[in-house]
């Protein structure tokens, strides 16, 4: 699943990494992602049968994102991630104003293609 999401984010031609924020270099935005709340959703005969969980995409950026969040949502929905939540924060990193947009998706592992 980690590689599948990385493959989608890589297509945006921005530095992307699992669980850490990549260095900006000369880019105005970078992408980070991680999974959380991974658990069984369906039980049968006392055993878990299917996993569900959540995926968080973090977009750190210095300038306007234009349609990047919408494009990421669209691409992840194509493989059956369900967009759930969006939030935005502002911070200063080494004297540089930095913005942070959070996109959260839910998924049923057996449905992600």
pLDDT tens figures, 79-93: 999 999 999 998 876
Q: Are 73 and 25 in contact, with CB atoms under 8 Å apart?
A: no
Q: Quick one: pLDDT at residue 8?
A: 96
**Which of 100, 81, 82 minimizes the C-alpha distance to 92?**
100
Which one is predicted more confidently, 96 or 62?
A: 62
State the pLDDT confidence band at 12, using cuts at 50, 70 and 90: very high
Which one is predicted more confidently, 36 or 94?
A: 36
Look at the alpha carbons of 14, 75, 64, 102 in this order and tell me if their dihedral is positive or negative.
negative
> pLDDT digits over 28-66, tens only?
999 999 999 988 887 778 788 888 999 999 999 988 888
Q: Quick one: pLDDT at residue 4?
A: 94
Both tokens of 110, joined, read: 């057996």
Q: Which residue has the tokens 């369900």?
A: 82
Both tokens of 71, joined, read: 């494009």
Both tokens of 108, joined, read: 């049923």
**Which of 79, 66, 109 minimizes the C-alpha distance to 9?**
79
What is d(CA 30, CA 61) in angstroms, rounded to the nearest whole number?
7
What is d(CA 113, CA 99) in angstroms, rounded to the nearest whole number?
31
pTM: 0.90
């Amino acid at each position: 699943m980690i590689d599948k999401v990385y493959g989608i984010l890589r297509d945006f031609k921005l530095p992307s990494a699992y669980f850490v924020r990549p260095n900006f270099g000369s880019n105005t935005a970078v992408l980070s992602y991680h999974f959380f709340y991974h658990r069984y959703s369906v039980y049968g005969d006392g055993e878990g049968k299917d996993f569900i969980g959540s995926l968080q995409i973090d977009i750190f950026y210095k300038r306007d994102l234009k349609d990047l969040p919408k494009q990421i949502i669209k691409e992840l929905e194509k493989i059956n991630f369900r967009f759930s939540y969006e939030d935005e924060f502002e911070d200063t990193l080494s004297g540089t104003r930095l913005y942070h947009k959070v996109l959260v998706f839910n998924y049923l592992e057996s449905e992600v293609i």
